[in-house]
Amino acid sequence: MKAVVGHRLFWPAAVLVVMLLANVVVTPGFFSIQVRNGHLYGSLIDILLLGSPLMLVALGMTVVIATGGIDLSVGAVVAISGALACYLISGQEDQGAVSGVLVAVALALVLSAVLGFWNGLFVARVGIQPIIATLILMVAGRGVAQLITSGKNINVNSPPYKLIGGGYWLTLPFAVIVVAVVVALTGLAVRRTALGMLLEAIGGNAEASRLVGIRSRRLIVLAYTFCGLCAGIAGLMISSNIATADGNNAGLWMELDAILAVVIGGTALTGGRFTLAGTVLGALVIQTLSTTIYTTGIPPQVTLVFKAVVVAIVCLIQSPAFRAKVFRRRARPAAPPPASPAAADVEVNA
Amino acid sequence: MPGAVLEMIGVSKGFPGVRALADVDFQLFPGEIHALMGENGAGKSTLIKVLTGVHAADAGEVRLGGERVSVTGPQHAQTLGISTVYQEVNLCPNLTVAENVFIGREPSKAGAIRWREIRRRAAELLTRFHVDVDPGARLGTCSLAIQQLVAIVRAVDISAKVLILDEPTSSLDRDEVEQLFTVMRRLRDDGVAILFVSHFLEQVYEVSDRMTVLRNGRLVGEYRTAELSRIDLVGHMTGRTLSTLEQLHVRDETARVQAEPILKAQGVGRRGAIAPFDLEIHPGEVVGLAGLLGSGRTEAARLMFGADVADSGTITLGGKPVPLRGPNAAIDHGVAFCPENRKSEGLIEDLTVGENIVLALQAANGWLRPLSQARRQELVGRYISALRINPADPDMPARNLSGGNQQKVLLARWLITQPKLLILDEPTRGIDVGAKAEIQKLVVSLAEDGVGVLFVSAELEEVLRISHKIEVLRDRRLITEIGNTGTVTPEGILEIIANGTTP
């Protein structure tokens, strides 16, 4: 029991389960999943599908935060990526041509990676603080997206492009499959190679990492590039889902949700130890919260306040320091105090 | 002589487990520069903190102008007329010089700050002290010496009775120190009482009139600078006199100069850190760096690893000159470095013991070539047991280890890479006696296997016990090299440090 509670993924998972159960109480059919036209339908599938872009963006954010950095520009990259893909597709004679869509997708992803690389150069080579370096692209990026779309929404009518964010494959939403594959590949890349450990070393103690000979600059650039790429994929999903590139609103404030997902998942903003699985759980918590607000019919004027209260509670529950305080106060009469706070502080490695 | 402006009588101060000050008397007279001397941990900082009200004394009293005062904090000290300027300048680099002089006490009229008045008065003050700087310049753009002088001008203008200067010269170069001393002498002649703390013996002799020596929290004595020889001063500070020669086990080894040196430094130096020096380290040779704190020991060691970049000279590794623009070039040539600050520069506390141990090897391999799980377990297990790291749990977070075990983890990290040259900066500081002996033995056995070792330590006995030759540093200069022939004693080295010459 202690091992389960002490696991670093316990609290994010517990929060998610509680939220889902709360939904079942309000909406009895919440857990039901049906098969229609060979596709899976249901609220849980919706949460996965709608949460896909956020899971991807948060995944990239996790890697950046692990190095001790932060990327505020992901929302803007989401907009740019969708705008470029839709612009290229809308310019084609046959929007349904698979080859044309593939070229557009490839170019959008290359541009996203380049934008991430740009952020990485600012941080690692020029030495600007991450929050400032990425703020540049956060602000300028929206302008770039508008430039690509000439300030209008670009509608596309392309069945192959629609697949990315709104289609199904093997009964599952295609976007969910994409997320699963990207998460799995990233997990392999960071834990099967030494990448994860070196990133954690850089985020944990940059000077010690330098003195031990870690070439941290290239790893930091790599992290930001990956983060840009993830945001690019998310941008494709969002614009594909609504078949529109909206330079103004696509991915708006998404960087904040992504940072929140990382924190709820149990990765500290100060860098160092990170958990990809925790981030996925964190993103699902946020998406479940949004879905809950819609399904339970909370009046629109209080949704933001409701969301804020829940997020605050979740963050407090997730904080070891807060838990230790509450736990200690309750445990003092029974257990000897020195053991309990120390035990709560020790992190168990995933 | 007029009465003391500041007096401490029988002051004691303890911290859990430490007696930082025990029954210390201290007197400071107007118009004198008084040096406070002592080794690390002698109680100098505690004394200053009691004077400025950071700590309250457990016993004894502080008298200011003959009246007993109880200082409640630095602000209170300042209103009483005691100002302190620390080594780290506590001013705002983003404000102008004039603004810094008057920050927090701006002359104002009807709630509006009188900027012209600030600039005029700041200019006046700076001219009076012959500080050549534009009052409108941003402080951050001025040199460190100017920043320090501005801090002093500010402190003196606030309250001109007692000025405490805590290590003001440690990051200044020669000319800047002169400039500071000129200002100090001028203030002294104006009747200010100055308390001066410095690790540089020469500077103390150059500028101070009297000195008070502390050792292990106790008062050793109060002396006139002109009447105390350098050798006696060092004796008072360290508690050893030349007559009490301790019998030490000295390795009677001759330096192994026949082989090609692993590392050869020629004219290597860095402005403000260490003057250019020459040094050779041969395979199987342990070279000790000896000197007082602030003598440039650490600075010299860091240059040879590329932790800091030298701005003069060449370093030859394995017969070829290698420009060290960062640690990687040195690591590629088989140089390893355990820094002085284990926690902030060595250990990665978030990672496990095992991860910390394989980190250097993994960094050298690159992230695409991870060590296999089996190889990693084998290596980590072998070094944990060889160095007797306790507890022997590779999956424990490194932060939970004791200091000695953390040091062993850092040693293991580099030994795995099979270095040719190991640079150890204070590897035994702050660790228990058992671990200390183990690390010394390890160094000796590594040298027997042909590894070159550069060993930096503040403990002369330790340096003597394991080194083949000893480089003596003083005031950021390597002054001499002595072979450890068996006749060298800690007192002999102290004498060199004190006099700056070979006996």
The partner residues of B487 in beta bridges, in order of sequence, read: none
The two three-digit tokens of residue A167, written as one number: 């289609």
CB within 8 Å: A210 and B327? yes
Largest Cα separation within chain B, whole Å, is 80
* pLDDT for the residue A342: 38
Distance of alpha carbon A201 from alpha carbon A212, whole angstroms? 10
Which tokens sit at A139? 């602000």
Residues B12 and B98 in one domain: yes
Q: Between chains, do A197 and B359 touch, taking CB under 8 Å as contact?
A: yes
Last residue of a domain, one of B221, B238, B255: B238
So where are chain A's domains?
A: 9-20+43-331
The reply to whether B405 and B486 lie within a common domain is: no
Residues of A in contact with B366 (CB under 8 A): 194, 215
Do the beta carbons of residue A117 and residue A228 sit within 8 Å? yes
Angle between helices A254-265 and A300-318 (to 10 degrees): 30
State ipTM: 0.82
Whether A210 has its CB under 8 Å from any CB of chain B: the answer is yes
CB contact under 8 A, B370 and A193: yes
Residue B410 and residue B283 share a domain: no
**Whole domain around residue B494: which residue ranges?**
241-334+419-503
Cβ within 8 Å, pair A194-B307? no
Indicate if B407 and B429 belong to the same structural domain.
no
Query: Which residue type does B141 have?
Result: T
B448 and B411 together in one domain = no
Among residues A216, A273, A258, A257, the alpha carbon closest in space to that of A59 is found at A258
Residues B144, B51, single domain; the answer is yes
Q: Say yes or no for a CB contact (<8 Å) between B362 and A198.
A: yes
> Would you call A191 an interface residue with chain B, using a CB distance cutoff of 8 Å?
no
Q: Which of B450, B444, B418, B448 is nearest to B283 (CA)?
A: B450
Residue to substitute from B309, B350, B411, interface A, most A β-carbons within 10 A: B350
CA angle (B178 as vertex; B173, B184 as ends), nearest 5: 125
A142 in reach of chain B (CB within 8 A)? no
Provide residues of B within 8 Å CB-CB of chain A.
305, 307, 326-328, 331, 337, 339, 344-352, 355, 359-360, 362-371, 395, 397, 400, 413
Residue from A195, A199, A211 to probe the interface with B (highest B Cβ count within 10 Å): A211
The one-character DSSP state at B225 is G
B62, B67, B162, B177 from B27: Cα distances, Å: 10, 13, 12, 26
The reported pTM is 0.72
Helix or strand or coil: residue B163? strand
Question: What kind and span of H or E run contains B15?
Answer: strand B6-15
- Going along chain A, which residue ranges are E strands? 34-36, 39-41, 154-155, 168-169, 172-173, 244-245
Residue A211 to residue B349, Cβ atoms within 8 A: no
Q: CATH classification of A9-20+43-331, choosing from 3.30.460, 1.25.40, 1.10.10, 1.10.3470?
A: 1.10.3470
Place of tokens 């879905």: A291
- Cα of first residue to Cα of last residue in chain B, in angstroms, is 39
Q: Do A204 and B350 touch (CB under 8 A)?
A: yes
The Cα–Cα gap between A338 and A332 comes to: 10
Chain B's closest residue to A208, CA to CA, is B345
Cα gap B276→B496, rounded to integer Å: 19
Residue A269 contacts B, CB cutoff 8 Å: no
Mutation target to probe the A interface, by most A beta carbons within 10 A, among B303, B335, B348, B395 is B348
Q: Determine the length of chain B.
A: 503
- Residues B501 and B497: their CA atoms lie apart, in Å, by 8
Look at the block and give the residue holding tokens 């030298």.
B310
Across-strand partners of A235?
none
Distance CA B34, CA B212 (A): 7
- Subunit contact A200:B327, Cβ cutoff 8 A: no
Interhelix angle A74-90/A130-149, rounded to 10 degrees, is 20
Q: Is B280 left (phi over 0), alpha (psi -120 to 50) or beta?
A: beta
Q: Hey, are the CB atoms on B344 and A208 less than 8 Å from each other?
A: yes
State the DSSP string of B62-105. EEETTEEE---SHHHHHHHTEEEE-SS--S-TTSBHHHHHHTTS
Contact A201 B359 (CB under 8 A): yes
Chain A residues with beta carbon closer than 8 angstroms to that of B360: 212-213
Domain end position, chosen among B238, B257, B284: B238
| Partners of A279 in beta bridges | none
Rounded to 5°, the CA angle A105-A219-B349 comes to 135
Domain-located, residue B339: no
Q: Does A215 touch chain B (CB under 8 A)?
A: yes
Whether A208 and B348 lie within 8 Å, measured CB to CB: yes
Token pair 């990239």 in the structure block, residue: A60
Supply the DSSP string of A8-22, one letter for each residue: TTHHHHHHHHHHHHH
Q: How many domains does chain B have?
A: 3
My answer on whether B362 and B479 are in the same domain is: no
Tell me: do B305 and B360 sit in the same domain. Answer: no
Cross-chain Cβ contact A213/B364 below 8 Å:
yes
- Give the Cα separation of B69 and B63 in Å (integer): 6
* pLDDT number for residue B244: 34
B245 within some domain:
yes
Residue with tokens 């630095």: B74
State whether B234 and B277 are in the same domain. Answer: no
Q: Shortest CA distance to B495 belongs to which of B183, B242, B164?
A: B242
Q: Which residues of A touch B350 (CB under 8 A)?
A: 200, 203-205, 272-273
Whole-number pLDDT of residue B171: 66
Going from the C-alpha of A282 to that of each of A196, A251, A272, A311, B280, the distances in angstroms are 20, 18, 18, 11, 56
Cβ of B346 and A208 within 8 Å? yes
Task: Please name the member of B326, B347, B355 whose beta carbon is closest to the beta carbon of A197.
Answer: B355
Which residues, 6 or more positions from B134, have their beta carbon under 8 angstroms from its beta carbon? Answer: B97
Q: Is A26 on the interface with B (CB under 8 A)?
A: no
A167 touches chain B (CB under 8 A): no
pLDDT at B249: 37
Mutation for testing the B interface, residue in A197, A202, A212 having most B CBs under 10 Å: A212
List the CATH number of the domain containing B490.
Answer: 3.40.50.300
Chain A positions in Cβ-Cβ contact with residue B351 (cut-off 8 Å): 197, 200-201, 204
* Minimum CA–CA partner of A219 in chain B: B367
- The mean of the pLDDT values for chain A is 88
DSSP B370-424: PPPHHHHHHHHHHHHHHTT-SS--TTSBGGGS-HHHHHHHHHHHHHTT--SEEEE
Q: Are residues B88 and B144 in the same domain?
A: yes
CB of A263 closer than 8 Å to CB of A318: yes
Tell me: do B246 and B289 sit in the same domain: yes
Residue for token pair 């003598």: B295
Which of B182, B452, B466, B186 has its CA nearest to residue B305?
B452
Residue B146: both structure tokens together: 């100017």
Q: From CA B449, how far away is CA B468, in angstroms rounded?
A: 15
3-state secondary structure of B171: coil
Token pair 């997902």 is at which residue?
Answer: A261
**A93 inside 8 A of chain B by CB:** no
β pairing state of B320-321 and B312-317: antiparallel
Size of interface A-B (CB pairs under 8 A): 82
Which positions of chain B have pLDDT values less than 50?
242-255, 503
| Length in residues, chain A | 350
In a domain, B1, yes or no: no
Low-confidence ranges of chain A (pLDDT < 70): 1-2, 328-350
Tell me which chain A residues have a C-beta less than 8 angstroms from the C-beta of B345. Answer: 205, 207-208, 211
Residue B102 sits in the same domain as residue B45: yes
Among B418, B443, B477, where does a domain finish? B418
From the CB of residue B115, how many other CB atoms can be counted at a distance below 10 Å? 14
B260 DSSP assignment:
P
**Cβ contact (<8 Å) for A212 and B360?**
yes
A218 touches chain B (CB under 8 A): no
